[in-house]
């Protein structure tokens, strides 16, 4: 008996392929896309199963989120690989790269990376990779982490919020980027300047305006300038995390024109909210850097459209309900982080569509660009040879966010009660359907430069 050419063929009247929406029939075998079939080829294609994408639905590449805090081991009550990867799958995210902090121990040694992999391996519902950490005193550990396949190294230039992951001073930043340059690795930076923040009025109480003044845009702008200077001197690759200050766009543009290898991300909350709209005491919206005003938000959107911001990632940073201090609304005491892994796609689609963008833009920002920056060129695209990571998305359906129905561990959401456009109907990982409510885990642990 002839072996079928394909395990599955996905038949879609609408799919995002090569940066545009078009009809596409996708042949999958052994977890990879092996053919993009024309209509006349479809009838004779031998396959075990045909998956028909429904009328009005669009087939997207699986999203790649390179900025996620799973918090396990050590703070699993905040999230964990089981609930975190279920949440990702429910939101159309098929690959995440886990940040090195908020877990205990932080991923700053090869031994700590091993503990994190042991925790993740039996629980991952999607593919999971890891960042290493750059902290004071661990420069000699970075080579071992690099050899073990981390996707790069994260550092802070200001207090991270957890004592196990202290920030780098200027000399430490220079040492870290010199080492990443030597290794051929990338340094990713939480860029806020500690001195500027120390000189700003302190946060306190429920006033969002007071919290915003405590972390001014100048802190981001000065820190990004330091990062760019360090990259200029070392020749190292850098990535600026969660940009909220549009005032830094000019210096980033100039650095790229100069030839500095720098990319930049922003996050759904900076594109969906504005400071003027945040009520006092609304600590579910506390993050760092903070959400700035509406004019700043629109400048971020313009930079995305111009290609000056490369990608959108979640910075999924959950915590337990008590740490948000909702009973007092005290921004100084509340944990700074927004959990949005499951909601990023509808949040961004809602806001992007209102500004004239289409789904090809959204998938470029949330799938292709983050995958490419970390070297996962077989992810984040519908193309022959890519992993068959696919999402069936209904762009015209609506959902009202109910935090108790999300898959994340704690029912806290900055988007509670919002009506959003777009619903993920199905998520497929390497050609296999992922049910975020089912038992079992089909995800893999992935490494830089290696394809399973």
Output phi, psi for 66, to 5 deg.
-95, 10
CB–CB of 438/424 below 8 Å?
no
pLDDT of residue 1: 44
Side-by-side strand order, sheet with 262-266 = 132-133, 153-156, 186-190, 237-240, 262-266, 311-312
281: alpha, beta or left? (left if phi > 0; alpha if psi -120 to 50) = left
pLDDT in tens, 143-167: 999 999 999 999 999 999 999 999 9
pLDDT reading at 358 higher than 90:
yes
Place of tokens 């740490």: 323
3-state SS assignment for residue 222: helix
Dig out the tokens for 306 from the structure.
């111009």
pLDDT in tens, 296-312: 999 999 999 999 999 99
Output phi, psi for 397, to 5 deg.
-70, 160
pLDDT in tens, 62-109: 999 999 999 999 999 999 999 999 999 999 999 999 999 999 999 999
pLDDT of residue 79: 98
pLDDT of residue 3: 73
Q: Mean pLDDT check: name the lowest of 5-9, 237-241, 284-288, 383-387.
A: 5-9
pLDDT in tens, 252-309: 999 999 999 999 999 999 999 999 999 999 999 999 999 999 999 999 999 999 999 9
Q: Residue 53: which of 447, 362, 428, 443 has the closest Cα?
A: 428
Model confidence band, residue 2 (pLDDT cutoffs 50, 70, 90):
low
The overall pTM is greater than 0.85: yes
Quote the CA–CA distance of 381 and 367 in Å, as a whole number: 7
Classify strands 237-240 and 153-156 as parallel, antiparallel or unpaired: unpaired
Helix intervals (H) in 128-215: 142-147, 170-183, 194-199, 208-214
pLDDT in tens, 372-395: 999 999 999 999 999 999 999 999
Dig out the tokens for 120 from the structure.
């993740």
pLDDT of residue 226: 98
Place of tokens 């993050």: 287
pLDDT reading at 45 higher than 80:
no
Fold held by 62-377+397-419 = TIM Barrel (3.20.20)
pLDDT of residue 39: 78
Dig out the tokens for 397 from the structure.
């359906």
Q: Residue 101: which of 123, 72, 143 has the closest Cα?
A: 72
Q: Bridge partners of 47?
A: 6
pLDDT reading at 29 higher than 90:
yes
pLDDT in tens, 167-212: 999 999 999 999 999 999 999 999 999 999 999 999 999 999 999 9
Quote the CA–CA distance of 252 and 257 in Å, as a whole number: 9
Nearby residues of 250 by Cβ (< 8 Å), 6 or more positions away: none
- For the chain, the average pLDDT equals 97
pLDDT of residue 41: 77
């Amino acid at each position: 008996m002839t072996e079928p050419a394909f395990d599955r063929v996905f038949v879609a009247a609408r799919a995002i392929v090569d940066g545009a929406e078009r009809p596409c029939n996708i042949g999958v075998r052994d977890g990879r896309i092996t053919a993009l079939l024309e209509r006349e080829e479809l009838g004779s294609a031998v396959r075990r199963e045909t998956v028909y994408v429904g009328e009005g639905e669009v087939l997207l590449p699986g999203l790649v989120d390179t900025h996620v805090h799973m918090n396990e081991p050590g703070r699993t009550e905040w999230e964990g690989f089981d609930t975190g990867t279920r949440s990702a799958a429910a939101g159309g995210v098929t690959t995440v790269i886990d940040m090195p902090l908020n877990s205990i121990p932080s991923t700053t040694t090869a031994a700590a990376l091993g503990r994190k992999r042991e925790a993740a391996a039996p629980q991952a519902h999607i593919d999971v990779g890891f960042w290493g950490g750059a902290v004071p005193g661990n420069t000699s550990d970075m080579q071992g982490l690099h050899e073990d396949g981390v996707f790069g190294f994260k550092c802070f230039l200001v207090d991270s919020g957890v004592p196990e992951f202290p920030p780098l001073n200027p000399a430490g930043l220079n040492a870290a980027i010199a080492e990443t340059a030597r290794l051929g690795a990338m340094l990713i930076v939480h860029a806020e300047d500690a001195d500027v923040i120390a000189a700003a009025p302190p946060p306190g109480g429920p006033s969002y305006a007071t919290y915003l003044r405590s972390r001014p845009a100048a802190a981001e702008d000065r820190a990004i300038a330091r990062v760019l200077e360090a990259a200029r001197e070392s020749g190292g690759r850098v990535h600026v995390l969660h940009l909220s200050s549009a005032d830094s766009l000019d210096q980033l543009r100039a650095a790229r024109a100069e030839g500095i290898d720098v990319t930049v991300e922003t996050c759904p909350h900076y594109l969906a909210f504005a400071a003027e709209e945040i009520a006092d005491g609304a600590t579910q919206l506390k993050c760092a850097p903070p959400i700035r005003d509406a004019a700043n938000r629109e400048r971020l959107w313009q930079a995305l459209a111009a290609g000056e911001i490369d990608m959108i990632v979640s910075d999924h940073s959950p915590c337990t309900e008590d740490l948000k201090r909702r009973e007092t609304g005290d921004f100084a005491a509340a944990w700074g982080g927004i959990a949005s892994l499951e909601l990023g796609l509808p949040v961004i689609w809602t806001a992007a569509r209102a500004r004239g963008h289409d789904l090809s833009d959204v998938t470029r920002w949330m799938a292709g660009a983050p995958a490419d920056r970390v070297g996962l060129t077989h992810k984040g695209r519908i193309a022959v040879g890519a992993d068959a990571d696919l999402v069936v998305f209904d762009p015209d359906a609506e959902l009202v966010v109910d935090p108790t129905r999300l898959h994340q561990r704690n029912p806290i959401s900055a988007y509670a009660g919002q009506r959003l456009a777009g619903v993920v109907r199905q998520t497929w990982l390497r050609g296999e359907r992922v049910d975020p409510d089912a038992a079992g885990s089909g995800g893999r642990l992935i490494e830089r430069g290696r394809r399973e």
